[in-house]
Structure 1
Amino acid sequence: MMTNLRKILLIPALIVVSVSSFFSCGVDRWPEYAHLTELDSWMYDIMQENYLWYQNMPSYNDVNLFLDPASFLSKAKWDQDSYSFVDSVMEAPLPTYGFDYSLVKSQDNDTAYNALITYVIPESPAAKAGLQRGDWIMKVDTSYISKKYETQLLQGTIARELSMGIWKEVEVEPEEGEEVPEEPVMVYKVVPNGITLDLGAAQSIEDQPVHKYEILTLNDGTKVGYLMYNSFTAGTSADPEKYNNKLREVSTKFKEANVKATILDLRYNAGGSLDCVQLLATILVPSARMGTPMAYLEYNDKNIDKSTTIDFDQEVLKTGTNLNQNVLIVITSGTTAGAAEMLLTSLYKKDQYPNIIVMGSASKGQTVATEQFINETYRWSVNPVVCTVYNSDHVAGEEPFILTPSDQFKISETSIDGTTNYSQFLPFGDPKERMLSIAIQTLEGTYPPKDEDKEETPSTKSFKIEKNVSSPASRRFAGGLRIK
């Protein structure tokens, strides 16, 4: 469970009572208040034993045990730790339409915005209505989208009618009194396309870690697998291996298609569980490295016996298969973190396969893992950092490293020569989608294009994204890197 999935049910703020008030007429009244400090005391004890940086915690006498869990953790952890978190283990996902969007100011209406769909959860009301990544919403019911009402219109719960648009090149009509130019002036903008969609009421829905997979064919006939994997999550409480089994199913289909390379899309992957990292790494790694170390976990000096080496293990495949991949292209973004980064560093080995090409924006750079500890009485969990994660080439005293895009592949998702070309902002898995298109060209050896092969970029306007909004349920899995 991910902290920003939920509106954390904070324990009501308590009035801090001075120590002297616990004693009245010589009678010890501390037992009356002990239950108010139990949760924070439990968290402190857990962290003192398991926290990687426990030496940086304040002493027991210097902490306030009457704070809500999130506030207490912020005071108790090392001030340079941005990964440890607390969470309620009680709430269900919030109802949602199931799509993310970005607001772009309308070129024809100073007070209106168009909403660019950036992500759609499978089987959500948005997906059932026919919304796809790259679509534009111009009106909701009969209203243009304004900043004032955008939350009500696009983040509400009732059924809606959506008036759609399309980003296309249109001729600029001269203002009244202006001279008509000899040659038409063309610009790109969002215009109505006459399509309306019926968006159903919001629902509590479940996103899927395996968001999309495709088997693509290069110009020379080579088969390539595309996998958009959004969370390293094994399954649900009812079916603990549900999502891992889907990953195993995809590996079998890729094997049957004889894929020679994999394009792994981790743009929306904020991390997850280490056991899922081991599974996906074992699916992808060249078979010659099977059974060899993939990572090393180093715990604090109180838990040295937990420090361990993790291998590419045939046993975790179960119904899945090893793909023996020598080439792996990985698409990342600023959202990519934790488990996703561990996957890349574990697969990377100097002068050995797979040849890993990372493209996109640099990922977050997380090299530590958290572990969940649940307090059953209060139904809260604390998730402190418990270990540092190194790849198999780790040398004592060296810092962990993160693979980042090379200068050649530091490419933003929609930028082309400084303009915004929304014609390539398409559903994930579409070979013409901006980043996937570049990945395919890289495998075919046609990217970057030679100067003489470069096409002129159409005259476009660089639109400013005013706001990015995520659905309450989209990709709301536990992020970072977690130890089970």
Structure 2
Amino acid sequence: MRKLVILLTLSTLVLACKKDDEPRSEFDVINDWIYSEMNYWYFWESDLPAKPSTNQSPRDFFYQLLSVEDRFSFIYEDYQELIDLLNGVSLESGFEYKIYRDANTTDGIFLQLSYIKKGSPAEELGLKRGDRITAINGNPLNTSNYRSLLGDTNAPYEAAIARHNTSTDEFDALGNVQITPITFAENPILLDTIYEIEGKKIAYLIYTFFSPGATEKDGSYDAQLRDVFDGFKANGAQDLILDLRFNSGGSETSVKTLSSLITPGISEGDLLFKKQYNRQVEEYIVNDDDLGPEFLNVRFQELTQNIGNELSTATVYFITSDRSASASEVVINSVKPYMSTFIVGDTTVGKDAGSITIYEDDNPLNSWAIQPIIVKLVNADGEDYPFGLTPNVPLEERFAVLRPLGDTEEPLLANALAAIGVQSSRISVPPHAAELSTVGSSLDKKPWAGKLLLERFEE
């Protein structure tokens, strides 16, 4: 089946002058375009309100259109910047973090670094997972100022760093570091390795988001993903742990790639998941000679690097968090009809929906993009996950002290190893395991958070 690339249908707007010949504003034209596209693509199109006044900002106009069921559609002022962000390219320091309240103060907070990105400014500065940022540009972080201070981190800034001292079990102030953000392309393959424990070879992959490459037409990340599994297969991996705790969504293309690398007993064309659009879009697809009903079915690929048949128990062990969403959930839910799954971590978000990026690249007067939910998803057995996927071993990563990723005593990994039956692993929860009060996470701001980014079709 040929690769179907969605190019946007650009609505032709016939703009009539007002009765009094008052010239229309730039916002009027853009908001007309927004309403036209939403009226066609939006999954909840039948719930759209009567057209609001177009004489307001596109952002305000767009959010007035959303269904009460929709928490994830959004609008972005620069479509090219959004495209870059969706492919993991952004101006950044090179780490993700969680925001916690500081129990030793009245309103203080700190950033706990969740992971450091390879080749980033943060890595070059020697920052580590578990480090804390307690102040930015000399200002201690608190509940009143942290949003504005984080807004200053697109330019060079100074961060006060604290690090856990294993001897004293205290956090030592390391002083300030000068961080200069750069335009950086994150590789979603954060860590891949094979453990040999008690005669078993266990493959482990941390995958942070779903993207085939750093640009829309680049397939290098998916190619690297296939190479990783080729290595797992060549080295005789018998069990597989997929760590999606930091993965809040991404591309349908990469969902097909990863699912096709892990599922046993599949052939080219076996059903991965089904799409459900609004009435008018689905009617168009079904009746189109080039698309037809088959376009609603997303199918596995037959990949030589697939290790599903090599796994000792036809089970994949997943690590999840309360930020694991959409594309991550699609993979877990879609392989369930074909194999067993075992989840360690937190209940996932429960976003069984997909979106597309809609923009006018031939209109220099309109730089806006909209990212509406246009589809709902079910697996081959018709199962969805509106309330998330429940773990077999519930465990939140809300620890004051974080062990390095890949350390076999890191609690989430240790529990996955224990589920496999490796006796030398242990279900270990560190001191202060649940003492932290969460304020937020940098993952919440990712443009793909809670979404499956669909391939596009040509009308």
TM-score by length of structure 2 reads 0.77
Change (3 A) 1:105 1:169: farther
Change (3 A) 1:122 1:129: same
- Equivalent residue, structure 2, for 1:33: 24
Change (3 A) 1:282 1:129: same
Are 2:113 and 2:129, in contact at CA under 8 Å, matched by a contact in 1?
yes
Deviations 1:97-130 (A, max 9, x none): 22235456386x8898765322222211111111
Q: Distance in 2 between matches of 1:429 and 1:105?
A: 27
Are 1:83 and 1:370, in contact at CA under 8 Å, matched by a contact in 2?
no
Are 2:349 and 2:388, in contact at CA under 8 Å, matched by a contact in 1?
no
Deviation at 1:366, TM superposition (A): 1.0
- Equivalent residue, structure 1, for 2:122: 126
Superposition pairs for residues 86-105 of structure 1, below 5 Å? 86-87=75-76, 88-91=78-81, 95-99=91-95, 100=97, 102-103=99-100, 105=102
* Largest Rg, 1 or 2: 1
One-letter amino acid of the structure 2 residue matched with residue 75 of structure 1 = Q
Deviation at 1:64, TM superposition (A): 1.7
Change (3 A) 1:167 1:149: farther
Q: Distance in 1 between matches of 2:263 and 2:395?
A: 26
- Equivalent residue, structure 1, for 2:9: none
Deviation at 1:241, TM superposition (A): 0.7
Superposition pairs for residues 234-383 of structure 1, below 5 Å? 234-237=212-215, 240-288=218-266, 291-302=269-280, 303-304=282-283, 305=286, 307=293, 308-314=296-302, 317=303, 321-324=305-308, 325=311, 326-349=314-337, 352-353=338-339, 355-376=340-361, 377=363, 378-383=366-371
One-letter amino acid of the structure 2 residue matched with residue 313 of structure 1 = Q
Give the 3-state SS of the residue equivalent to 2:171 in structure 1. strand
Deviations 1:2-35 (A, max 9, x none): xxxxxxxxxxxxxxxxx9x9444xxxx05x2175
- Equivalent residue, structure 1, for 2:5: none
- Equivalent residue, structure 1, for 2:204: 226
One-letter amino acid of the structure 1 residue matched with residue 193 of structure 2 = E
Alignment partner of 1:204 is 2:167: no
Deviation at 1:284, TM superposition (A): 0.6
Q: Distance in 2 between matches of 1:149 and 1:48?
A: 39
Are 2:165 and 2:171, in contact at CA under 8 Å, matched by a contact in 1?
yes
Change (3 A) 1:110 1:210: same
Are 1:106 and 1:190, in contact at CA under 8 Å, matched by a contact in 2?
no
Change (3 A) 1:239 1:76: closer
Superposition pairs for residues 150-169 of structure 1, below 5 Å? 156=153, 157-158=155-156, 160=158, 164-168=162-166
The gaps in structure 1 that reach 5 residues or longer are 1-18, 171-187, 415-419
Give the 3-state SS of the residue equivalent to 1:287 in structure 2. coil
Q: Distance in 1 between matches of 2:150 and 2:68?
A: 39
Deviation at 1:421, TM superposition (A): 6.2
One-letter amino acid of the structure 1 residue matched with residue 63 of structure 2 = S
Deviations 1:294-340 (A, max 9, x none): 111122221231652122122xx4xx611114121111111111111
Q: Distance in 2 between matches of 1:341 and 1:471?
A: 16
One-letter amino acid of the structure 1 residue matched with residue 70 of structure 2 = D
Q: Distance in 2 between matches of 1:284 and 1:152?
A: 42
Task: Point out the more displaced range, 147-156 or 431-440.
Answer: 147-156
Deviations 1:130-150 (A, max 9, x none): 111123567889x69453887
Identity of aligned residues (%): 20
Change (3 A) 1:460 1:389: closer
Q: Distance in 2 between matches of 1:476 and 1:58?
A: 25
Q: Distance in 2 between matches of 1:238 and 1:51?
A: 23
The gaps in structure 2 that reach 5 residues or longer are 1-15, 287-291
Q: Distance in 1 between matches of 2:133 and 2:194?
A: 30
Task: Point out the more displaced range, 160-169 or 199-208.
Answer: 160-169
Change (3 A) 1:309 1:95: closer
Change (3 A) 1:476 1:212: farther
TM-score by length of structure 1 reads 0.74
- Equivalent residue, structure 2, for 1:182: none
- Equivalent residue, structure 1, for 2:452: 481
Are 2:275 and 2:377, in contact at CA under 8 Å, matched by a contact in 1?
yes
Change (3 A) 1:459 1:81: closer
Change (3 A) 1:309 1:267: same
- Equivalent residue, structure 2, for 1:77: 66
Task: Point out the more displaced range, 122-131 or 299-308.
Answer: 299-308
Deviation at 1:291, TM superposition (A): 3.5
- Equivalent residue, structure 1, for 2:413: 436
Q: Distance in 2 between matches of 1:133 and 1:46?
A: 42
Please, what is the CA RMSD of the aligned residues? 3.6
Deviation at 1:70, TM superposition (A): 2.3
Q: Distance in 2 between matches of 1:336 and 1:153?
A: 23
Q: Distance in 2 between matches of 1:443 and 1:477?
A: 31
Q: Distance in 1 between matches of 2:268 and 2:35?
A: 41
Aligned match of 2:112 in 105, 110, 116? 116
Aligned match of 2:196 in 206, 217, 229? 217
One-letter amino acid of the structure 2 residue matched with residue 470 of structure 1 = S
Task: Point out the more displaced range, 70-79 or 195-204.
Answer: 195-204
Aligned positions, number: 412
Are 1:85 and 1:383, in contact at CA under 8 Å, matched by a contact in 2?
yes
Change (3 A) 1:153 1:356: closer
Q: Distance in 2 between matches of 1:291 and 1:248?
A: 19
Change (3 A) 1:137 1:367: closer
Change (3 A) 1:203 1:106: farther
